[in-house]
Structure 1
């Protein structure tokens, strides 16, 4: 039951990646940008759909009117009386719908739409770059937890050896086989090793909190990590390097940006061509008029339907369109120069990363052999210490040598793995790696 609980508490590499993709703030922000780009490339933002505008209005008037007729006589020869109209109500109602559709705009919206689609592809690449960088950050911290975990084991083993040495030295002192100095020296080494273990455990706790930040979870969440490290086959890495131009995210973004700039040039050219559109409208109106001094009240109601076509050609806009086109072409040229610069820099970075990885891997292999040598040396030193052939100082030096060899091997192992991950990122294969 205890073994099952421990196994469940191990944070595997795949689980760490899954939590990172789901919880990391930087990745969530990048995904939001991708969603915005997806909305922008939809048909609703393309300009291909017509615009439909509905209008309606109602108006109510209430007025009083007194109309006089000075000098005017009625049929009986008397002065004509004033006509007074109180609370004369007028009601007006209007409703209409207007439709406009652009048949041709010089292909401007066509290239704008393609530009938005390519902008979405560019944003996808930017999200991928964010994920790759965050994954490198994740594993730099994950492997730091693994390294500190192994260092704690090494230092605890050294502490056990030192405690055993104290016990042995105490027995030998009691039987008169050595001096009190040997006991005191062994006790000093126990104190030193105890402090080293405490410091290593604190560094391990700090590294775990760093990992929890990357995964966006409780800072004090307790877990263990997988300390097993495997390296990618050399021939496979050579294949990745050979195909890096087609897979490196920086170069792919540069290619995508050039496509965006090319569509911007073509869209700018459309401003020099005419625009042809269709219009249509339907309207309904009703007017309820009150009686006046001369006319009885009336109701007026009507409908109208209008269809039309229009052609608009901006023959000269002061030169703005021409300047915009020129600037778009310059921007494209700049993008091409930048792409060449990126290609040169990426090739350099890959060459450096490959050399660094191979060097660190060789160092790791040397450190592994060094650990074997120092283990054998410590075992022989223990036997010679028991026989009194070496001093406790000489034994302690052999113990320190082994501690340094094992911690150096741990550092070399994870440094080599991180160098490999950087090489995989530069070749565009980091997200295709099975951890």
Structure 2
């Protein structure tokens, strides 16, 4: 009898992935790549850099202000000076008579062409606030706290990104293991098809057995193709988190290790000191405390010092009655000022009251966050323990179904059970294996969520 090509073709489709040579992307390598390339993490690091610049002494107001200035002016004048009603005289004051008309000669106009003058100046001015009611001192400390808060915010961004990273990484691992399970299922179904065809040739079974086996091969092939499509999509999701080529190919590490119970209990006991949300509320509380002190500085006077040094050069052209001169001068000024806003309409008092209210609100928020974090940790711990127990049960379930399948295969080969009964044992094993994979990665992800809440997610090895 001629063999149908369908089982061989689908069996070949099921084994194609075995020939693909892909690099192994370890969990630690994925962590490092995300830390280095992820766009969200880079933005958070940029915000930290801005806060670091802001908390510098250059932004504190403690340094003086030095201002330099210089200027130059150039003038050119062309002028005519008339003397109406004035007449020419000789050296002795006698009038000069025009011999032609016999009249006294009028005084001639004075013409000044290209009369140039220049003016130059340069100076330095120094201003320094000696005392401003301690406002800049507390503002400087506030900026230090703001910088530390930005570091905590960046840490929170990194933790959330890493949690997202590993949720996708573990999904890739789960689908990869499912792919291997489905490939094995397809191989077994293809072998059963070949066995049914040989048995039919020798008259040991009917055509129905061949058709049933081919239907199972088709179903297994479709499940495998769907799983591969899901795996390709999730790998692209992982490449987005890693900010690398979307078509980058790799394999992932499917080995999962769980943290010992005693170590987890220690992490939970120290969560108040390490949880990033609680640490942020502490920093916000410190910032609000400094806001009160900064606003209270408005009650105190401000003392400032100033000094200046200047140079001036004035060059004038010859005039109608006076010769040109060069005038150079140097000036030095020193001064001190005291400004005390004795009453500003109540603005400072209002700002102080509002800052105190903001501080009290932050204390209430801290208590709320503390309660919520404690609840989240207890829930996360319970979820983790439950999922870990489910995983252990699923591991035992795989062993039980594996034994059942091996026994069923022996019985099927001896002809003691039908192909339908054998297929049911195969499906039970397949479901047990995929459920175990799901339980394993669910438990590990629950552990990572617990580590995030205890503030230890970035302190453990992956």
Q: What is the TM-score with the length of structure 2 in the denominator?
A: 0.91
Give, in angstroms, the shift of residue 144 of structure 1. 0.4
Residue aligning to 1:159: 186
- Alignment partner of 1:398 is 2:412: no
| Range 253-262 or range 166-175, more displaced | 166-175
For the residues of structure 2 that align with 1:69 and 1:174, how far apart are their CA atoms? 142
Give the direction of change, closer, same or farther, for the CA distance of 1:253–1:270 in structure 2 (3 Å limit): same
- Alignment partner of 1:30 is 2:57: no
- 2:94 aligned to which of 44, 54, 76: 76
- 1:323 aligned to which of 338, 350, 353: 350
Alignment of 1:20-419 (within 5 A): 20-73=34-87, 74=89, 75-78=93-96, 79-419=106-446
For the residues of structure 1 that align with 2:80 and 2:94, how far apart are their CA atoms? 22
Give, in angstroms, the shift of residue 327 of structure 1. 1.3
User: Number of residues paired by the alignment?
Assistant: 431
Where 1:318 maps in the other structure, the secondary structure is: coil
| Range 122-131 or range 285-294, more displaced | 285-294
Give, in angstroms, the shift of residue 8 of structure 1. 7.4
| Range 243-252 or range 72-81, more displaced | 72-81
Give, in angstroms, the shift of residue 7 of structure 1. 8.6
Give, in angstroms, the shift of residue 6 of structure 1. 8.4
Where 1:89 maps in the other structure, the secondary structure is: strand
Give, in angstroms, the shift of residue 296 of structure 1. 1.2
* Pair member with larger Rg: 2
For the residues of structure 2 that align with 1:428 and 1:226, how far apart are their CA atoms? 25
Where 1:70 maps in the other structure, the secondary structure is: coil
Q: In angstroms, what is the RMSD of aligned CA positions? A: 1.4
Structure 2 gaps, min length 5: 1-18, 97-105
For the residues of structure 2 that align with 1:14 and 1:7, how far apart are their CA atoms? 21
Give, in angstroms, the shift of residue 378 of structure 1. 0.5
For the residues of structure 2 that align with 1:29 and 1:134, how far apart are their CA atoms? 12
Give, in angstroms, the shift of residue 53 of structure 1. 0.4
For the residues of structure 1 that align with 2:189 and 2:86, how far apart are their CA atoms? 134
Give, in angstroms, the shift of residue 66 of structure 1. 2.7
Where 1:286 maps in the other structure, the secondary structure is: strand
Residue aligning to 1:422: 449
For the residues of structure 1 that align with 2:138 and 2:161, how far apart are their CA atoms? 34
For the residues of structure 2 that align with 1:204 and 1:38, how far apart are their CA atoms? 42
Where 2:83 maps in the other structure, the secondary structure is: coil
Give, in angstroms, the shift of residue 65 of structure 1. 2.8
For the residues of structure 1 that align with 2:64 and 2:226, how far apart are their CA atoms? 70
For the residues of structure 2 that align with 1:77 and 1:257, how far apart are their CA atoms? 96
Give, in angstroms, the shift of residue 380 of structure 1. 0.7
CA contact (8 A) 2:387 2:443 kept: yes
For the residues of structure 2 that align with 1:368 and 1:76, how far apart are their CA atoms? 136
Q: What is the TM-score with the length of structure 1 in the denominator?
A: 0.97
Structure 1 gaps, min length 5: none
For the residues of structure 2 that align with 1:184 and 1:406, how far apart are their CA atoms? 26
For the residues of structure 2 that align with 1:7 and 1:358, how far apart are their CA atoms? 37
Give, in angstroms, the shift of residue 183 of structure 1. 1.6
For the residues of structure 2 that align with 1:87 and 1:317, how far apart are their CA atoms? 58
Where 1:227 maps in the other structure, the secondary structure is: coil
